[in-house]
Amino acid sequence: VTVVQSDLAFASAFDIAAAIRARQVSPVEIVRTYLERIRRLNPQLNACITVLEDEALAAARDAERALVHGEPQGQLFGVPIAVKDQFWSRGTRTTNGSRALQDFVPDEDATVVARLKAAGAILIAKLNMSELALGGTRRPPWGTPHNPWDHTRTPGESSSGCGVAVAAHLCAASLGEDTGGSGRWPAAYCGIVGLRPTYGLVSRYGTMPACWFLDAPAPMTKTARDAAVVLGAIAGHDPKDLLTSRRRVPDYVGGLSESLAGIRVGVIAELDESDALDPEVRRTVDAATAVLHALGATVRRVNVPLILAAGGMLAATCDIESAAANDRLFRTQLDDLDGATRTRLLAAALLPVAHYGRGLRARVVLRQQLLEALGNVDVLVSATSPYPPPLHDAHTATFTSTADVRARFFMQRAYLSGYSLAALPALSVPCGFTNSGLPVGMQIAGRPFSEGALLSVAHAYESATSWHTRRAPAID
Amino acid sequence: MNGAPTDDEIALVRLLAARSGFSLSDGDVHEVAVRFISLLAELDPLMKIDLSGVEPVTVFRDTDEPRDAA
């Protein structure tokens, strides 16, 4: 691998790691490159809540000393990574995107942060996000994150800063979190890769909870191969999270293939035929599916009858859990919370308990339907979002009618949340652009612990296309 | 129902919030009511499917996980 110096910031995390190992670039050089970009571009983009300039440079100097002494290097050795401000970072404030938590400083790292560091990564920034990892935040305390492809539009939520930072090349890779779609959604809107792992593959310890039985740390990266590297670094059993799997973590990078021969792809008919799906998004995802076919996959339509009810199921379960998880804030600092957060969680908190139970039961049936569909195909494919990134004002406007809530809240989540509810892995990969230059994402999902297969399909798709290499305007 | 909440629905939301011990401002009550009745409407189809034999599950067991691993 040869990384051209002028293109250093735009290189993948995988290539940067390789260049450092080959002594083509030094860790200090790459950290300084990204810090300079953050200083120059973050004031326009609001991707970061806290920039760890001194800490990152000190870690980079330590890395250089380790290189000189020939010490063992992890897969992400010297690679600058930024994480959503939902993950504990020892000695650094962790706000969960809320003014109410602006003074919280954890005394230990989240397991995922500790594992990234153990793999050699250098933590360069804590990233902006929707308040409490929900969505629709109207007045983010650390500024409104802007979509690098069009600053007047939302980058998607709730891992908004991750989408922005990776798309604007403010870091080599990032770690977001995906409860009901919060990693895949901004990935699609920002033209990057976002992977929601199987629930239990990655530890939640030190992740500030949105919904304890749905939360999943989510690699958000420039390429599918980078997602494989980051997932390999953070996955695996953690004694601090008893719900993590004891399965052996596979070599995700080594398992990548550029051929899809023998792969069976299922297009979810209910999502593809929904009136909510923007025609331009449909055409783009259809074209991407045709590329999968050209690479050797067989493509067929499958049915998942309950998938369009996923948004309601998510609100009836996740939102109630989130209201419960934040009950103390609710009762003592309600006015410190954003209007969108307050009204969303209050509505959920008033829901009769019978609906919560029904949501949990319906979720089991939805999982059965998805697994049944996956009995006949290897992966499921759809648009990640039914429409391209909307304007900020349209996205965060106060809800005034049930039709408005259905269109802007439930249908968006119908595309994303089914896999969260079913505890299945899913990723979003860039698959094209609208006529006005906005990114479109293709969602690829599979059976439990089939991350290797999903990453391989995405990697094969990237090998045959160039969407993931496009640069957002005005970020050079 | 595709429109704004009725006065009765807003009154119901005020009552539920008060009984639950939540402070609900005049500025928020309309949007909370919209979200609340929208959520009930969205869940309506789930009330019509037979879930009688289905147990609620929060965390799905990994049936293939090795049991003897350290």
Is the pLDDT confidence value at B68 over 70?
A: no
Contact B36 A331 (CB under 8 A): no
pLDDT at A299 over 70: yes
Instruction: Tell me whether residue A117 is one of the annotated catalytic residues.
Output: no
Asked whether residue A68 carries a pLDDT value surpassing 80, the answer given is: yes
Inter-chain residue contact B20 with A351, CB threshold 8 Å = no
pLDDT(A348) > 70: yes
pLDDT in tens, A192-223: 999 999 999 999 999 999 999 999 999 999 99
Task: Give pLDDT tens digits for A426-463.
Answer: 999 999 999 999 999 999 999 999 999 999 999 999 99
Choosing from A89, A130, A159, A182, the catalytic residue is A182
Token code pair at residue A66? 């380790």
Structure confidence at residue B26 as a pLDDT band (50, 70, 90): very high
Asked if A343 and B23 come within 8 Å (Cβ–Cβ), the reply is no
pLDDT of A106 > 50? The answer is yes
The answer to whether B35 contacts chain A (CB < 8 Å) is yes
Q: pLDDT (tens digit, 9 = 90+) per residue, A127-142?
A: 999 999 998 999 999 9
Q: CA A344, CA B57: separation in Å to the nearest integer?
A: 24
Does B70 score more than 50 pLDDT? no
Query: Per-residue b/e over A140-160, b at no fewer than 16 CB within 10 Å?
Result: bbbbbbbbbbbbebbbbbbbb
C-beta atoms of B34 and A399 within 8 A: yes
| CB of B11 less than 8 A from some CB of A | no
Query: pTM of the full predicted structure?
Result: 0.96
Whether residue A158 lies in the annotated active site: yes
User: Which is the catalytic residue, given A12, A84, A159, A174?
Assistant: A84
Q: Which of B39, B51, B58 sits opposite A351 (nearest CB)?
A: B39
User: What distance in Å separates the CA atoms of residue A147 and residue A160, rounded to the nearest whole number?
Assistant: 9
Residue B46 has pLDDT above 70, yes or no: yes
Contact A343 B35 (CB under 8 A): yes
A245 is catalytic: no
Reported as a pLDDT band with limits 50, 70 and 90, residue A151 is very high
B66 CB within 8 Å of a chain A CB: yes
> A383 has which bridge partners?
A442
Q: Is the pLDDT reported for residue A10 higher than 50?
A: yes
Task: Give the mean model confidence (pLDDT) for residues A175-188.
Answer: 98
The pLDDT value given to residue A6: 73
Q: What is the average per-residue pLDDT within A39-54? A: 98
Q: Please give the Cα distance from A75 to A234 (Å, whole number).
A: 11
CA distance B8 to chain A (A): 15
Q: What integer pLDDT is reported at residue B59 of this predicted model?
A: 93
Above 80 in pLDDT, residue A7? Answer: yes
So what's the ipTM on this one?
0.90
